[in-house]
């Protein structure tokens, strides 16, 4: 927006009754939030831009726009928005969590860890911060710490299936195969349509020589989520440990011959 356009907008807003401005802002905010929540990030970004033109110091809007920027592949822009949100609302936890996620996207592990630890100093049972810190520790090769953090996240939030699955994967990475298999089986009994546990158990069973049952679980996993065929996605997005990812890829290579 040019300086002249910004000045004109300011004059128009000043001339409008404040109730109209507030109504327009509330409507815009609702539309932006709905677009974000529905996954329409391309449509959400200009809506958040408009919200912030009307209310540039809205910490929640900045954090929401930061999340959209990250989803659109702009982690640097996301960090700018989250940092400004933190400056405006220094005691809010969410912008630190969101900034940590963007920092992880840039593999800035130290910065992400600092944001998660900031949260955990204020709330030691924040399941999202515990889980994300587990991802950071795993990404730096500390699977013992990652496993403990995943388990703490699962304890802090009953029903946090991904945390339990990640703990099982970390146990597999540590060669604690009996515990990992038992945990994955328990997850599948409770959540039969949980693709992560199905895919993990496929690779673990194949590694142990139970190829028939491995193929059965994989048929279910592949039907639920095709991304488990992608090694880069497993390692960089889902954050599987290297050993489970390697074994699942070996199983799929053999299956596809």
The more confident residue out of 68 and 20 is 68
Task: Indicate the pLDDT class of residue 15, thresholds 50, 70 and 90.
Answer: low
* Helix residue spans in 89-140 (DSSP H): 94-105, 109-122, 127-139
pLDDT score recorded for residue 190? 97
Does the pLDDT of residue 149 top 60, yes or no?
Answer: yes
d(CA 53, CA 51): 5
User: What does the block give as tokens for 222?
Assistant: 């592949």
- Tell me how far apart the alpha carbons of residues 2 and 7 are, in angstroms, rounded to a whole number: 9
**165-212: pLDDT as tens digits:** 999 999 999 999 999 999 999 999 999 999 999 999 999 999 999 999
72-109: pLDDT as tens digits:
999 999 999 999 999 999 999 999 999 999 999 999 99
Q: Is the predicted pLDDT of residue 163 greater than 60, yes or no?
A: yes
pTM strictly above 0.95: no
Mean per-residue pLDDT over the chain, rounded: 92
% of the chain surpassing 90 pLDDT: 89
């Amino acid at each position: 927006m040019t300086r002249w356009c910004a000045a004109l907008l300011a004059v128009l807003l000043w001339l409008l009754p404040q109730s109209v401005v507030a109504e327009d802002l509330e409507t815009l905010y609702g539309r932006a939030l709905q677009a974000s929540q529905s996954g329409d990030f391309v449509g959400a970004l200009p809506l958040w831009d408009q919200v912030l033109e009307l209310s540039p110091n809205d910490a929640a809007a900045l954090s929401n726009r930061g999340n959209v920027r990250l989803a659109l592949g702009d982690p640097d822009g996301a960090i700018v928005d989250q940092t400004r949100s933190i400056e405006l609302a220094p005691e809010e936890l969410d912008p630190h969590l969101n900034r940590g996620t963007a920092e992880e996207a840039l593999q800035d592990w130290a910065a992400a860890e600092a944001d998660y630890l900031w949260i955990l100093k204020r709330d030691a049972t924040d399941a999202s911060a515990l889980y994300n810190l587990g991802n950071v520790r795993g990404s730096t090769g500390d699977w013992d710490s990652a496993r403990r953090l995943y388990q703490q996240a699962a304890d802090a939030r009953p029903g946090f299936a991904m945390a339990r699955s990640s703990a099982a994967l970390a146990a597999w990475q540590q060669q604690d195969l009996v515990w990992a298999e038992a945990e994955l089986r328990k997850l599948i009994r409770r959540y039969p349509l949980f693709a992560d546990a199905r895919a993990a158990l496929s690779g673990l069973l194949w590694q142990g020589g139970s190829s028939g049952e491995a193929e059965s679980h994989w048929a279910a996993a592949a039907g639920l989520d095709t991304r488990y065929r992608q090694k880069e996605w497993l390692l960089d997005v889902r954050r599987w440990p290297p050993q489970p990812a390697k074994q699942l890829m070996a199983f799929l290579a053999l299956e596809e011959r």
